[in-house]
Structure 1
Amino acid sequence: MSLRTPTLHLKPRAERPVLPIALSSAAAAPGACVDSEALLRGSREVLIRHGGEIYRLRHTRNDKLILTK
């Protein structure tokens, strides 16, 4: 019996909304701490655009964060 990983269907890049996150001036400072709740906004996953690439930040069932390209 093999376990299959569910397939995640993402919208094409042009259709994905880019949501700005308002961070306080303290959070914008180098070495500042940003709460994961502020990034995930109640979701289990968020897409992050960085340097023309899309990264996926996931909150797992084991309460870990995983960042993948």
Structure 2
Amino acid sequence: MNLPPLPAQAHAPTGDSRADELPLAFDSRELLRGVREVLIRHAGQVYRLRHTRNDKLILVK
């Protein structure tokens, strides 16, 4: 799959090398891999990321 590049993120350096890194960016197609819904585990909780018929993303606990 040939995806267009993501837009550049603007940020100001803080002096903290971890904070100065740009945030990771994922195309939703990478996360969903052709399905309408995926589960994401975080801190012992399960979240549901859903792609709606209106082409929106909804994240719920």
Taking structure 1 as the reference length, the TM-score comes to 0.56
Moved over 6 A (4+): none
Q: 1:53 to 1:34 in 2, by over 3 A?
A: same
How far residue 31 of structure 1 moved from its aligned partner, in angstroms, is 1.0
How far residue 63 of structure 1 moved from its aligned partner, in angstroms, is 0.0
Greater RCO (Cα-Cα under 8 Å, separation 6 or more): 2
How far residue 32 of structure 1 moved from its aligned partner, in angstroms, is 2.2
Distance in 1, matches of 2:33 and 2:59, equals: 16
The 5 Å alignment of 1:16-35 reads: 30-35=22-27
Distance in 2, matches of 1:59 and 1:36, equals: 9
- Does 1:64 find its partner at 2:60? no
User: How many aligned residue pairs are there?
Assistant: 41
Distance in 2, matches of 1:42 and 1:36, equals: 10
Residue 47 of structure 2 aligns to a residue whose secondary structure is: strand
Taking structure 2 as the reference length, the TM-score comes to 0.63
